[in-house]
Structure 1
Amino acid sequence: MEIKILDMIQNLHTTVGDHFFIGITKLGDAGIIWIFLTILLLILPKMRKYGLAMLVGLCIDVIVCNGLLKNLVARTRPCDVNTAIQLLISHPTDYSFPSGHTAASFAAVAALYFSGDKKIWKAAIVLGILIAFSRMYLYVHYPTDILGGILVGIFSGFIGSKIVTYMMKKRANQNE
């Protein structure tokens, strides 16, 4: 059934769509857009709490997603099952479940949201959804890989925000 969904998405391909989703997926390569945003927020004193939450959330995500789950589940990618599809990007070398691009995106979004950001998370979720969809559009992830990435990301971002909130409260109490 998941291959059928991916095959239906293949019917959406256009030249403009191909270039757009290749660009979108590259923003998520190695979490680069989220790392850049984290650094930017860490530099800005009023935004530092959000940057710290993203940093911790992304670290938790990389451990859970790339360090544990991908190797534990060891799911073959859809492009390795249906080899008739010509990939528009380089063939990923790691396992399929969960989607690391999606997990990092939603770790960043959740960290922002749960740490109290009022604006940035809204733009981040739009980008996160586009990155997640791009992985199916480009035939490198199943829909359940995306769902798994969303869940891992939300968990990681939530925990990251709670750790940072706890640490900041503890520090404030020590300074009193």
Structure 2
Amino acid sequence: MVNLETNTVNVWLFYLINHTRHPLLDGFFSWFYIFGKGWVLIPAFMAVLVFYRECTKTFLLSAAIMELLVGTLKYILDQKRPLSLLNDVYTLSERLYHHSFPSGDTATAFLVLAFFYGRVNRYIRLLLLAYALLIAYGRVYSGVHFPIDVFVGALIGIFSYLLSRKLILRSSSANLLSL
């Protein structure tokens, strides 16, 4: 099996981020990581139901596409995590060894960012962008993902939203044409 993780730039970036330690960052990322987990889609979905009900199908399809892509890639590629491949890895709260590529937490955060970005004011956009970037950075800082994992996770989150929006728009216009 091809190892996507151990290319020179990926390892160098991993060590640059993972070895730039500070007690405040350790404390922050030791609890902030939970905001990248799948449960975050529940309050996001509640916000969709309350404020953007007409976009419910798009949100649900986006989440389904993201989960399918992330799960399939993790299963098929089965890339090892930094703790399995490198020496001198700092970890915080999670000690994970397998299924590193891509980062599902990052995909989730960037899906939330992509979905809400065009629907909220600029201050909320900045908060969502900071949230997604902190989740991505924190996964590497915490020693559980390589930079390529979070980069591809971010792309999957954004792609899942864009694809679902296109599919929903296409099906809506097909329905209009059939009237």
Structure 2 counterpart of 1:159: 163
TM-score, length basis structure 2: 0.80
Offset at residue 83 of structure 1 (A): 4.5
Offset at residue 110 of structure 1 (A): 2.0
Given that 1:50 and 1:112 are in contact with CA atoms closer than 8 Å, whether structure 2 keeps it comes out as: no
Structure 1 counterpart of 2:36: 28
Alignment partner of 1:117 out of 105, 119, 125: 119
Offset at residue 22 of structure 1 (A): 2.1
Change in Cα spacing, 1:140 to 1:134, as seen in structure 2 (3 Å) is same
Distance 1:50 1:122 in 2: 21
Unaligned runs of 5+ in 1: none
Distance 2:56 2:31 in 1: 24
Count of matched residue positions in the alignment of Structure 1 and Structure 2 = 168
Structure 2 counterpart of 1:55: 60
Given that 2:107 and 2:156 are in contact with CA atoms closer than 8 Å, whether structure 1 keeps it comes out as: yes
Change in Cα spacing, 1:161 to 1:125, as seen in structure 2 (3 Å) is farther
What's the Cα RMSD here? 2.4
Fraction of identical pairs, as percent: 26
Given that 1:109 and 1:157 are in contact with CA atoms closer than 8 Å, whether structure 2 keeps it comes out as: no
TM-score, length basis structure 1: 0.81
Q: How does 1:1-176 map to 2 (within 5 A)?
A: 1=8, 2-29=10-37, 31-42=38-49, 44=50, 46-66=51-71, 68-92=72-96, 94-113=98-117, 116-119=118-121, 120-167=124-171, 173=176
C-alpha distance after superposition, 1:106-163 (max 9, x if no partner): 12222334xx414354432221111000000001111111111111111101112223
AA aligned opposite 2:53: R
Given that 1:97 and 1:145 are in contact with CA atoms closer than 8 Å, whether structure 2 keeps it comes out as: yes
